[in-house]
């Protein structure tokens, strides 16, 4: 593919929870000078809103209306991602176990996904992006220049999540975390609207036992093969 300096490039990185999407996408975006679009953060912010407003059992229309009216923003000031919910920084709160436990029905709601997909596409308009999530390559950006689908064993993904939470002072049961991740996989893969699945033209990357640097280099090499401009 010939390089086109006027073209906007999109790289998508999809995969289940804990497969390494976020860390790898963030670093690939940094090295390429692209915008990192963390779609999962947006769904977590929507879930946090639902929890704060006590809407877990509310009628679907009420829940969707609350999210549609909310301002969910990804702020990249100083190259650091901050997630803003109605102008309040919720970057840390959305990573808590209570949000993780409640996100599945929010993420599976087609009306909520419609709202957030529109915002994700708006963020990527006229911008080079590395977008990570679960349906970036299949639904949100089906014409992306490069699609990566990450996988990893449940045990390794649970260990990564456990260490991440421990570093923040959050204690969780490891076996319970493994069960939670397995249930999340089933929910994400079996939902009717935008299920987690590998796009037909995506390149699979098994991150089990791989370092972040190995993952990043894999994506960048594939990006070069697709004609994505790589900074000197």
The CATH number given to whatever domain includes residue 53 is 3.40.50.300
Q: Which two tokens stand for residue 208?
A: 């089990």
Model confidence over 90-146: pLDDT tens digits? 999 998 889 988 988 888 889 999 999 998 998 898 899 999 999 999 999 999 999
Structural domains counted in the chain: 1
User: Does residue 54 sit within a domain?
Assistant: yes
3-state secondary structure of 16: coil
Q: Which two tokens stand for residue 48?
A: 């946090």
pLDDT computed for residue 5 by the predictor? 57
Per 3-state DSSP, the chain is made up of helix, strand and coil in percentages (nearest 5) of 50, 15, 35
The model carries a pTM of 0.86
pLDDT computed for residue 3 by the predictor? 42
Between CA 79 and CA 166, with CA 156 as vertex, the angle to 5 degrees is 60
Instruction: Give the whole-angstrom CA distance, residue 94 versus residue 62.
Output: 21
Q: Once rounded to an integer, what is the mean pLDDT over residues 83-94?
A: 95
User: Does residue 85 sit within a domain?
Assistant: yes
Model confidence over 180-225: pLDDT tens digits? 899 888 888 888 888 889 999 999 999 999 999 999 999 999 999 9
Please give the residue that has the higher pLDDT: either 18 or 199. 199
What domain range includes position 101? Answer: 13-222
User: Does residue 21 sit within a domain?
Assistant: yes
User: Does residue 3 sit within a domain?
Assistant: no
Please give the residue that has the higher pLDDT: either 213 or 78. 213
User: Does residue 110 sit within a domain?
Assistant: yes
User: Does residue 79 sit within a domain?
Assistant: yes
User: Does residue 5 sit within a domain?
Assistant: no
User: Does residue 155 sit within a domain?
Assistant: yes
């Amino acid at each position: 593919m010939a390089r086109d300096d006027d073209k906007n490039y999109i790289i998508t990185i999809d995969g289940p929870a804990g497969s390494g999407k976020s860390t790898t996408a963030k670093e690939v975006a940094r090295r390429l000078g692209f915008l990192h679009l963390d779609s999962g953060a947006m769904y977590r912010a929507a879930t946090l809103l639902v929890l704060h407003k006590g809407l877990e059992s509310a009628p679907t229309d009420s829940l969707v209306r609350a999210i549609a009216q909310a301002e969910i923003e990804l702020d990249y000031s100083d190259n650091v991602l901050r997630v803003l919910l109605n102008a309040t920084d919720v970057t840390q709160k959305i990573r808590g176990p209570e949000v993780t436990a409640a996100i599945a029905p929010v993420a599976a709601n087609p009306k909520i996904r419609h709202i957030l997909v529109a915002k994700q596409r708006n963020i990527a308009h006229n911008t080079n992006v590395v977008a990570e999530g679960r349906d970036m390559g299949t639904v949100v950006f089906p014409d992306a220049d490069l699609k990566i689908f990450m996988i990893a064993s449940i045990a390794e993904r649970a260990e990564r999540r456990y260490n991440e939470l421990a570093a923040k002072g959050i204690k969780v049961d490891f076996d319970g975390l493994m069960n939670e991740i397995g249930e999340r996989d089933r929910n994400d893969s079996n939902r009717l609207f935008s299920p987690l699945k590998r796009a037909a033209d995506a390149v699979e990357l098994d991150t089990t036992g791989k370092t972040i640097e190995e993952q990043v280099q894999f994506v960048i090499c594939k990006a070069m093969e697709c004609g994505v401009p790589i900074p000197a």
